[in-house]
Amino acid sequence: MTLSFVPSFPEAQEKGYRDSPPPRVTMYGTMVGRKVVFERVEIDDALGQREKNIEEAKLTYEGWLGFIEDNY
């Protein structure tokens, strides 16, 4: 399972580099029952493409993913 998005909310754009497009986030995971367990997260921004630490990614995106799960 792959989830790819470009965050466009103000908090995410404030963290980007000036005069550069917002980063693309790509999350890779597998289905476990009815849930997706993400195992790898990549960021593609002005610095290039790199893997994000999974624990850091969890803290960054957990609330956003919970909101989606609860509302969609």
- Structure token digits, residue 17: 């580099």
Burial (CB count <10 Å: 0-12, 13-18, 19+), residue 37? exposed
Least confident of 25-29, 31-35, 58-62, 68-72: 68-72
Q: What pLDDT score was predicted for residue 57? A: 92
Where do the structural domains in the chain lie, given as residue ranges?
A: 2-71
Question: CA-to-CA distance for 4 and 51, rounded, in angstroms?
Answer: 14
Identify the band that residue 48 occupies on the pLDDT scale cut at 50, 70 and 90.
Answer: very high
Provide the whole-model pTM: 0.78
Q: What is the pLDDT of residues 19-44, one digit of tens each?
A: 778 889 999 999 999 888 999 999 99
